Structure 1
Amino acid sequence: MPRPLRYLMIWLCCTALTVTAAFLAVRFVVHSTAPLPPTAHALPTVFSTPSPTPGLLIPATSAPSTPTPTPRRTATATPSTKAPTTRPPTTAPVNGHNTSSSCKGGVGVHSMQSVGGRVTFNMGADAICLVSAVPSPGFTTSTDQDAPDTLTVTFSSATHRSETTGTIHPQPQAVTREVSW
């Protein structure tokens, strides 16, 4: 083989080896610094029930009394002959579960912040009630409560979902699950 052809072959092999090594090094660096794909993860939050102070007595209260209405005068200054009616305040049920007295006691009111918004639960002794669900801009809100002791609030957008589930059994806790796509 003539000498110039041999030098050309050696130069081509060295150049190909150098280009291949540089390509593999750049590929390794680019792939090692690429962001990870989105994953779903749960963040549990456990709340403790406050224990009463020993020796502190809380007086028992009777049934709440309704205030007596004051009579109104009409424009002609004659007293009204119709007796005013009062009715107890009503609360709207959440998915068929009454929230008026079932959220008393327990660990109280707690808020959870997520990417989709802020949820505030009232964790009572027998049930969990929704106080508020404020979505972040671009998110919509939906709630689901199949049982009085578990409540799920979901914030949804086009590319993300934040699901916060609050429960009081076996222990009061709230778990937020974030999913992006």
Structure 2
Amino acid sequence: MVPASAEEMGLSDLMERLGEVDSVEKTYEETKHVDMLEEPLVRTGVIDYRRPDYLRKESDGEPRELVELVGEQLRVVSPRGEREMRVDEDPRVRGVIASIRATLAGDAGTLKEHFRVELSGEVADWRLHLSPRTDAMEEVIDSITIEGEEAAIREFLVHEANGDRSRMVIPAP
């Protein structure tokens, strides 16, 4: 038998592993590089996922921001105020949300609906590369790379179409 750390993994294997996780609540550090700014924006906070469709990302520094998704209802609270919308109102928002939530849920079908999906690596060190399927998504997102080990996600890297990029690191326990 091949040890898990050296085991090659297919997309269905990874999605099955991720789909077995009922909830995750972890700290994160997000670094966003914006072309118009000399220094990157750095935020820390907590990301909370609960099966099947709850996701919350809350920063703990200034400016404080809360992004909460319950089913198809998205709520964003920031210094600019509070906004609510249905995810399906904007295909670009729906696609970005899908990249996170579908990965956490182990939902390959939803990922493939919005992205071309490439998986590389092995169980102990995998990389999922997502490229948008639609022109509307390509206007916003160039690519998303998600890295992890076993059933744990450790990094989201988003390259936006305008050249900006963000990296969210979720440390292992």
TM-score (ref. length: structure 1) = 0.26
Structure (1 or 2) with the larger CA radius of gyration: 1
Q: TM-score, normalised by structure 2?
A: 0.27
Greater strand share, 1 or 2? 2
The structure with the greater share of residues assigned to helix is: 2
